[in-house]
Chains A and B, each alone.
Chain A
Amino acid sequence: MKARLDEQTIALRAAREFADGSVVNLGYGMPGLCADFIPEGRAVFFQSENGMLGYGNLASDAEKDYEMINASDQPVTPLPGMCFFDSAAAFDMIRGGHIDVVVLGAYQVSEKGDLANWGRPGRPATGMGGGMDLAAGAKKVIVTMLHTTKTGEPRIVKKCTYPLTAARCVTLVITDLAVIEVTGKGLVLKEIAPGWTVPEVQALTEARLIPASDLKEIEL
């Protein structure tokens, strides 16, 4: 078995997409790890849909305050300049186009950039939370996920078979094998994990990948 990137490394790569001064929302699970990898010298304002902007890191046990949580129910630390607001204001901010980047997990992404990240077979009682609002409202939607399922099925597919979160919303997909850009022409393979070849990654991807002319190893 060839080595794949671990979740920390995927999050590190995703965080490189945060421009200086940008407003970023991190989804449930792996995306939350991005908070620990902001590139040095960049200021990033994390927005959380339960009503805060500009929070810090995950809180240590001594710092934990359960009235200071991110949208994944994790206690976080305050930072100077942060602010609080209610849920309606949080989603005005999201739908109104004030979020530069959202990082979301996914079950599937299609070749057109459709996202499926909330419902799966056998679990009809789960919900989408703020995922649909974020996918529809953020300027840039980055998906971080494992390239295949536990049983080896591709997650990057021609057409999503799981319930959609939003159609044609994903701009960039970062997996344990590749960085893939969603373009009008299709999925462009921009970066590839160390030691992997294009045919090997394509074999684990249902949708067709277009290797970029400047294809390179994943840059960290």
Chain B
Amino acid sequence: MPVNKVFKSCDEAVAGIFDGATIMVGGFGSYGGLPINLIVALSRQGAKDLTVIANMGGVGFELSKRIKPGGYQDLGVLFEHGQVKKFIGSVPALGGMPPDSPLERMYNEGRVEIEVVPQGTLAERIRCGAGGLGGFYTPVGVGTVVAKGKEKKVIDGKEYILEMPLTADFALIKAHKADTLGNLVYRRTARCFNPVMATAAATTIVEVDDLVEVGQLDPEIVVTPHVYVHRIVEVKQ
């Protein structure tokens, strides 16, 4: 019998996330692929001193009202609650928005550390970590602040910098459908960082729109194989 991976609630699924953990959070921006129910459950759970790896830092609930009437929750809630000590991502804060996102405010107050990573380099560092590789040479960032302190190498006359792998203790992932084994499929652009991050964590926790029985997903369209998935919660849309 395979172990039971299905959890009844997001609160139960994020239990055991410990203080000081490194957490990857899927998605792209403030919506579309963000595992928002798991994020909010983690904000309730209260783990602190977290290192969060995500593409964007979120705008936070107050600032989101300027984008959408009534506002919405995003990753900003973890910063609002002071749970994060370090953020690694490509857009900590949006230059086109006022400097009022929870992450930017905390950064300006010296309460959180930021490591800014070009978006493609972020994806590739995670893929490297997931695949057991020790790093890779990329031309992205050569001649910029990103290259600072990194090993340089010229290959076939072109300059590259060495980027190191990223892994995590936990990944919070949004998928469209899962079977009870943990095979995942995604919907449209909600795929984004989710499949990459799902493969790079010791414990991968997934919220899905629909949970189906084994055998109901066409094996030809499975994007994330079940071996990477440890906890599943169905959150009906």
Contact = CB atoms under 8 A, between A and B. Distances in A.
Interface in A79-93: 84-88, 90-91
B160 to A, nearest CB: 10
Interface in B95-128: 95-96, 99, 103-104, 107-108, 114, 116-124, 126-127
Nearest to A94: B120
Interface in A36-70: 48-52, 65-69
B3 interface: no
A91 B188 contact: no
B143 A166 contact: yes
B31 A69 contact: yes
A63 B189 CA distance: 15
Given A52-B189, A95-B139, A132-B144, A125 B103 contact: yes
Given A28-B96, A86-B191, A126-B94, A95 B144 contact: no
Nearest to B145: A163
Contacts, number: 157
Contacts of A136: 139-142
B96 to A, nearest CB: 7
B168 interface: no
A91 B29 contact: no
Interface residues of B, number: 54
Contacts of B146: 128, 132
A136 to B, nearest CB: 5
Contact of A95 (B104, B114, B138, B187): B138
A127 interface: yes
B82 interface: no
B153 to A, nearest CB: 15
Nearest to B237: A67
A132 B92 contact: no
A167 interface: yes
Nearest to A135: B140
B73 to A, nearest CB: 13
Interface of A is mostly: loop
Contacts of B193: 86-87
B140 A51 contact: no
A127 B89 contact: yes
Given A69-B189, A73-B32, A88-B127, A133 B120 contact: yes
B32 A130 contact: no
A133 B193 CA distance: 16
A73 B99 contact: no
A132 B90 CA distance: 10
A90 B124 CA distance: 11
Nearest to B176: A67
A86 to B, nearest CB: 4
Contacts of A86: 123, 191-196, 223
B188 A84 contact: yes
A125 B143 CA distance: 20
Interface string B36-59: 000000000000000000010100
Interface stretch (A10-18, A116-124, A187-195, A203-211): A116-124
B139 to A, nearest CB: 5
Nearest to B190: A67
A29 B94 CA distance: 12
A88 B28 CA distance: 12
Nearest to B106: A125
B191 A126 contact: no
Contacts of A122: 99
11 contacts: A50-B32, A52-B188, A52-B189, A86-B191, A87-B119, A87-B122, A122-B99, A125-B103, A130-B90, A136-B141, A164-B145
Interface of B: 28-33, 55, 57, 89-96, 99, 103-104, 107-108, 114, 116-124, 126-127, 138-146, 186-196, 223
Given A67-B189, A86-B192, A129-B91, 14 more contacts: A50-B29, A84-B188, A86-B194, A87-B120, A87-B193, A91-B124, A124-B107, A125-B108, A125-B114, A126-B94, A126-B95, A131-B118, A133-B120, A167-B142
